[in-house]
Structure formats: structure tokens, C-alpha cells
A and B are shown apart, each in its own frame.
Chain A
Amino acid sequence: MLEIKNICKTFHPGTINEKKALKGVNLTLEDGDFVTVIGGNGAGKSTLLNMVAGVHTADAGQILLDGIDVTHLSEHKRAKYLGRVFQDPMMGTAADMWIEENLALAARRGQRRTLRWAITKKEREEFREMLKPLGLGLENRLSTKVGLLSGGQRQALTLLMAAMKKPKLLLLDEHTAALDPKTAATVLELSDKFIEEGKLTAMMVTHNMKDAIAHGNRLIMMHEGQIILDIRGEEKKKLTVEELLEAFTKASGAEFANDRALLSK
């Protein structure tokens, strides 16, 4: 499904702020893989996701999605294949537009935008049905401005928008980090549900080790721009936070110095 071949990225090359964010990352995801990505601050997790999404262009290497070379495809063209949820709940939706307008925008991801009406009657009913399972009562607020919703509601809506067109790959970039624990749990549950029901392939960046272990069928850990651990299948199911920390120390030769990850274990 996704093939990342020797991807390198350096920010601000040749300056005092030079930062080698990715140092030759290789990763292959199979159809239906749900991989969680963990690592300390600056490990390159978000950069890796942004490379796949096309926010940054690669210095070297290749990215293939379902056999299609997307390495040099612009962000909006790649969007055809991708569903994305961001860390910032404000980022995934258009605040000044209605709930149904946002959904209609997402429903046309990957299509040419024509001079046809933006929302059809039939779609409106479909949106209502799609919103019901979120359990947030949004199905009765189709013409509410998204800016009036809470962070959790917006993130749930973004998730629905990202998943509704069945993307080849769903990218979740710490999408629960800005939410309170209860809302975060709800959104995570929804993510699981969407991925399972849609049989989606997904990558989820998280700071929370427990979440990284509890979700998905595969876990990768990044450190200083490289993948240092790749655990899957039965081995992942049995994994504990302690083992993960130990594995990290062994693989990187350093302590896992990240307050957020440690606090949230």
C-alpha cells in the first residue's frame, strides 16, 4: 500500500539551524495495516507524516502509494489518496463554514470542483446518517458554523471527513494530543471504528505509549530521524510500556527523555 524508500529531509540546510529531520527512512505498509508511530520530540514522526501528505518535499528517496509514485505530487493532488487529521482541532475544518458545507467539501476530495451545486439534497440526508454514529448530536446541526463547535467535536468531524471517502491511507498526526483525556478516548475509539469499518490503512502518530500499544497491528518507534523499532503481530499484542522503554534504551543508547510520553504511560 505505502512504500517509503530511503526518504531524507533536512530543514534549513547549510545554516546554523540545520536540522536533519529524516535520515533515510524506509517503511512498507501492507493493505489494512494500522501502524502507530511513537518517539520523542523532534524524532521525525510528524515530519514523516507530512512527507507522505506532501506538506514537505523530500530531499531524496521515493514515496509510493498503491504503486503510484507521489514523491513529487503537490499536496492538493495527493489529497485524492489521503485522509488527514491534524493535531490542532482548528486545522482540519473551515471554521466559517457550516457542518454540511465542510462535509460536502470533503465528499469531493479528489474530484474536480465544478459549477454544480455544492451540496445536493440526497447528500444532506447521507451526511445526517454519517453524523449520527458520532453520538454528538451534530446530525441536527447541519447548518451550524463549525467554528462554534468544541475541539473534540471538530476533531470528530475532521475524522469523519478524512474517512468518508475511503482514503488509501489515513494519516492521524497526534490528533488527540490537544483534547482532554475523556474526549481523546472518544476520538480514539471513533478512529478505531472508522479504520475497522472502512478497512483502512492508517498511520497514527502519538505521544502516548499506552495508546500506541493498545491501537493498531504494528508499532514503529522513531529516534533522530530514523526508525529504530518495528514491532508487529503477536509480539505487539504482548507489548508493555516498560518493555517499550527498555527497547528504546537498547536501540537508541539513550534514555527515553520525554515527559509527555512518560507521564501518560
Chain B
Amino acid sequence: MQRRGRRNGAATVLLRGIRMDAFITSLPGAAAQGIIWGIMAIGVYITYKILDVADLTVDDSFGTGGAVMVVCMTSGMNIWLSMLVAFLAGCLAGLLTGILHTKFGIPAILAGILTQLALYSVNLRIMSGMANMPLSVMKYNLLLSLRKIPKSILVAGIFVVVLIALLYWFFGTELGHSLRATGCNQAMARANGINTERNKILGLILSNGIVALAGSLITQYQGFADINMGRGAIVIGLAAVIIGEVVFGKIFKNFALRLFGVVCGGVIYYVVITLVLSLGLNANDMKLFSALVVAVFLGIPYWKKQLQQKNLGRKGEANDAGN
């Protein structure tokens, strides 16, 4: 450090070089994390894009998945069964939000916040009051781990393919179509005999199940579950959805490809995060940075529309003047 301080210019270059190296070596890890968070983002896509509901339950149903995973595994349960239980626990969280929204008449965002708050306590209960529980790859035969990144990427990739295939099938069925119609136009859905309330609950169940599954995967990958592991998950999910749309929207029209775009969005997000961290951004400022990026990307379509309307207005004025 002292030597660097003396030879200023060269040292900075050297430092950058080191950081670039660090960036490149951390790329595979970023990709693995990105894919797993991309799975989470597919859950967000179902509520945010298909059902047209911003569901904040995910911030803690993600942790529920992780907590359940650790507790099931450490109690000796089979890994696949553990992941299934994690998925089902997420489904329950979604069910709760769905009931609060449709049967209690609470706006979706608030219903999600209430469930999320409740889940914090529930997750602590699941982990017997501990804020953090280890799940060591040395002790258990896990599917993914930080220590085996290439294998983790492969496993996460297989999960993505299977999940997208299942969702592609589901949203092509009569029930799946009725879910899409519910998100698109509720009046029309009801006029065609679709139970929109039940469909919203169903969508929330499915979404949070997937989110919790992603939580169980991340727990295996990082080797522990943490009470705060899902903090800001909705923002990361939205970021992945939006990046996927902005970058691949023009090429990926098919539903399966669009979901794939979301996962790619997750990977891009994590690569960018790794890059800005390696460029020297304080890790503590990360959430601020994420929120800013998502806010700007959410604003872009709105600004575009405003601009278009302004231009249309001007055109109209010009025509009036001409007449």
C-alpha cells in the first residue's frame, strides 16, 4: 500500500489491473448468482407482468424458501423433498397475500407488505430464532455451491430450462389463458366467466412458490440461510424483468424466450453489479445504486409516452394552424 501511494500514476493503473482481474475471476460466480436470481425474477414476472400486481411478498418468501431448506436438510430430509417443501412454503406465503388482497379487500401492495412483515417472524421461528443458519456443502450433498461454480451454473441452468418449459405449458392451457386474461382486463375476464379473484390467488401462489424455490437454491449456493437474504428481492426481480425486456424485448417475442430473457436480465444485473463493485463502489451503497437503476428503467417507458404525447400535441396544433 505504501509503495503504491508513492508511485501515484503507475499504482492506479496497477490497482485497476488488479480489480479488472478480480472482476474477471468473479464473473462465473456472478453468472451463477444471476441465474438463480433470474429464477426468482421469473416469479416476479408472473405477478408483475402477467397479473399486473406488484407483489412485495417476495422479499421474505425468498427467505422462507432458504430457511425451510436449511431446516429440512439439517433434520435429515432428502434434498429434493426439502426443495419441494421450500416451494410449498412459498406457495403458502402467496396464498396468504392472495387472501389478504381478495378476501380482505386490501390493495395488493399493502397485502404483500403485511405478509412480508409477518414472514419475518415466521422465518425466525422456522430457524428457531437464529438470524443465520449454515448449510455446509462439506456436510451435505448439495446441488449447488460456491465451491463448485461450473457445476452450480449447470444445475441452475437445468432448473431454468425445466421451469420455463413447465410455465410455457401452463400458460398455454385454458387455466393459464384465464390467468393472463385476469391480468390483462378484469372486466372482460369476468364477463367471460373467469373467477378473477381465484386466479389472482393462484398467480400469487405460483409466483411465491418459485421465489421460495430460488431462495432454497441460493441457500445451497452460498451455504447458509439468512433472515435478511431476501431484502430488496423485489427490486432485483424487477431489475431482471426490465433489463430482460429492454435488452431482448425486440428479439424475444415468444413467451418462453421472454422468460429466458428475464433470466438473462438477472445475469446481466449481477455482472453489472460485480463490475461496479470492482470499480470501487462501496458495497454498502449497492442497494441505493440498484434502486436508482430500477427507478430510471421503470421511468423510461413513461417518459417515452409523455414525449410522444407532447409531439402529437404539437402536430395537432400545427394542423389546426394550417386549417
Q: A: which residues have CB within 8 A of B?
A: 53, 74-77, 79-80, 82, 84, 86, 90-97, 101, 104-106, 108-111, 113-118, 161-162
Most buried by B among A53, A82, A96: A96
| B172 pairs with A118, CB closer than 8 A | yes
**Bound complex: CA of A93 vs CA of B184, how far in Å?**
9
Residues of B within 8 A of A110 (CB): 193
Expressed in whole angstroms, the minimum distance between the Cβ of A61 and any Cβ of chain B is 22
Give which listed residue, B177, B188, B195, contacts A91 with CB less than 8 A.
B188
Alpha-carbon separation in the docked complex, A108 to B177 (Å): 11
B174 touches A113 (CB 8 A): yes
Interfacial chain A residues near B185, Cβ < 8 Å:
90-91, 93-95
B181 partner residues in chain A, CB cutoff 8 A:
94, 97, 105
Instruction: Return A244 CB to nearest CB of chain B, in Å.
Output: 31
| B101 within 8 Å of A (CB atoms) | no
Q: Which of B170, B173, B174, B189 contacts A94 (CB 8 A)?
A: B189
Query: Contact between B190 and A118 (Cβ–Cβ < 8 Å)?
Result: no
Is B194 positioned at the interface, with any CB of A under 8 Å from its CB? yes
Known contacts A76-B196, A79-B191, A161-B192; A95/B184 CB under 8 A? yes
Residues of B within 8 A of A95 (CB): 184-185
Closest 9 A-B residue pairs measured CB to CB?
A: A79-B193, A94-B184, A118-B177, A113-B174, A109-B193, A113-B175, A113-B178, A84-B191, A75-B190
The number of chain B residues with a CB under 8 A from chain A is 22
- Interface pairs (16), CB distance under 8 Å: A76-B194, A79-B194, A86-B187, A93-B188, A94-B185, A97-B177, A97-B180, A97-B184, A104-B174, A105-B189, A105-B192, A108-B192, A111-B193, A113-B194, A116-B173, A117-B172
Instruction: State how many angstroms separate the Cβ of B41 from the closest Cβ of chain A.
Output: 20
> Which residues on A sit within 8 Å (CB–CB) of B170?
115
B232 within 8 A of A: no
- Chain A CB within 8 A of B176 CB: yes
Task: Give every chain A residue within 8 A of B172 (Cβ-Cβ).
Answer: 117-118
Known A93-B188, A97-B180: A114·B173 in contact at CB below 8 Å: yes
CB-based nearest A residue for B183: A96
A94-B180, A96-B180 known; A76+B193 contact, CB < 8 A: yes
Closest to B176 in A: A118
Nearest CB in chain A to that of B50: its residue: A96
Known: A76-B196, A114-B175. 9 other contacts (CB 8 A): A91-B185, A92-B188, A96-B184, A97-B184, A105-B192, A113-B175, A115-B175, A117-B173, A118-B173
Chain A residue contacts of B174, Cβ below 8 A = 104, 108, 113-118
- Contact present for B192 and A79 (CB under 8 Å): yes
